[in-house]
Amino acid sequence: MTRELVFVSAGLRSPKKGNLSIFRRQRYLNYGLLSLANASMVKNGSLVHGHFDAPSATLDKIAQTQGATNVVFLVSCPSFLSLDWAEEFINLASARFAKSTFILGGRWVVDNVSDQIKRRMPRVDFIFEGIGEGEISKFLHDTTGLRYERGDKARSVFEQSGLSFLDYEKLSDPYAFVPSFEGSRGCGAGCVFCAEASVRLTPLKAPATLSDEIALYYRKVPEGVRRFYLETSNFTPRRDWIRSFTSARADRGLAEIAWRTEARVDIFSQPAIEELANAGLKVLDLGLESASHKQLMRMGKTKNPQSYLSRCSQLIRTATENGIAIKLNVLLFPGEDRATVAETVEWLERHKSYFVGVSAFPTIYYGLTPQSDPAVMQYRHLGAELVEPASSFGIRNINLSRDIPYPQSEALARDISRMFMSEEQYFFLKSFSYFDPRYTRHEFRADIAATPHEMLPFSVAA
């Protein structure tokens, strides 16, 4: 009996920031799962993203193209926010594909808590922990008997660098995404709130390999958008890497392709920024997080807040002068009070001509073991408390302090974003990387008109 592999990136019941139409338009590529789908035995179109669709709608989409009844479903949870969706999907799919096998993965969600998840989702047959590329072939053979081998290029790139090499033909709808390519993994900078705080930073993918991967995308998705996102939690390019990438992309006819990435605020020298602009970098996301010295120290962002903020000022000025648009991220962290928020707002006000938008968020706790998590103990030491009960399986909101309980932290985050980002800036930033490329400015305006403006994370023109 034929057994087929179907890859499912679990969706969300509603967007993280709220159940608004503009948030439902966003598309987040599960590039880790796409990396695993890079195998000759995997049919093109076999990776389906749940997005914000109902699990039943995603299952209907799969059933329309799936002839086999004996299916091996590899369901990936990219976030704790997707666990409830995954549970409903697996329950529905197990009734519709009765002879199928269900494997659940997603390292940031399932690692070290498999037993708790299995009790919650008894229909799951196997849970895969850790990074998939190195172990998935053996795991599938041991658990299902399938002889699965990843593509030669994907296997070679992972063995050499520990990074992915993506085949966009495996997606059910490759035109739904602005493409992403993995540049590096890990960070290791030690920020308290980050899942990769102690995960070693890998070297950047070789420029020639990255350029080959981008060129392959345009051969397989010929009408794909002419921009991409370079996925790396901490982009730290040497100048020789930048020069090699500039040359490699030109050699492959990619010189006009614009790109975006993210980095710390205290990394780049002025000459490096100038060379990155020449290499096609158009948008740089920076994790400022706060301009309060006290909060930066509490977060573990820096031991010298004054130098940190000074370097950020220099970086965003230099980037703007070289035509690179800056988007800043701000995190409202445990221990926050009105004074620390005011420090951040004042800094943003002084620098507003050097960035095109701000995304502000309150800290949320993700995990199934808050009672033993050192991060929770630190949060309590700072005067914060988890909100009970959990808002969802594995997700708890936080009262940041007596001064800023959870509902106010959400409102403050929206206020900060609205203060420093217009609807035009928001559409530019989201269209560059996150909106479905087919989403038009006209549709965006219609969605805004149907939304209470106080719920939007940007200001609306009169």
What SS3 class is residue 200? strand
pLDDT at 1 over 70: no
Q: What is the separation of C-alpha 156 from the centre of its chain, rounded to a whole number of angstroms?
A: 25
Average pLDDT, the chain: 93
Range 170-173, long-range pairs (CB < 8 A, 24+ positions): 170/7, 170/34, 170/37, 170/38, 170/42, 170/44, 170/45, 170/46, 170/47, 171/34, 171/45, 171/47, 171/49, 172/45, 172/46, 172/47, 172/48, 172/49, 172/61, 172/65, 173/49
Q: How confident is the model at residue 2 (pLDDT cuts 50, 70, 90)?
A: low
What is the set of domains in the chain, with CATH numbers? Answer: 1-174 (3.40.50.280)
Q: How far apart are CA 21 and CA 445, in angstroms?
A: 11
The pLDDT > 90 percentage for the chain reads 84
Q: Which of 175-189, 201-215, 333-347, 434-448 has the lowest mean pLDDT?
A: 175-189
Question: How is residue 459 annotated by DSSP?
Answer: B
Task: Tell me the H-state helices in 352-440.
Answer: 374-381, 406-420, 423-433
CB 327 within 8 A of CB 283: yes
Give pLDDT tens digits for 74-129: 999 999 999 999 999 999 999 998 889 999 999 999 999 999 999 999 999 999 99
Q: Give 3-state DSSP helix, strand, coil % of the chain, rounded to 5.
A: 45, 15, 40
SS3 labels along 377-400 = HHHHHCCCEECCCCCECCEECEEC
Residue 197's pLDDT is: 67
Residue 425's pLDDT is: 98
Structure tokens at 196: 């990769």
Q: How confident is the model at residue 368 (pLDDT cuts 50, 70, 90)?
A: very high
pLDDT at 380 over 60: yes
pLDDT at 182 over 90: yes
pLDDT at 68 over 70: no
Residue 131's pLDDT is: 87
Residue 429's pLDDT is: 98
Give pLDDT tens digits for 217-264: 999 999 999 999 999 988 989 999 999 999 999 999 999 999 999 998
Q: How far apart are CA 248 and CA 250, in angstroms?
A: 5
pLDDT at 66 over 80: no
- Bridge partners, residue 48, by sequence: 8
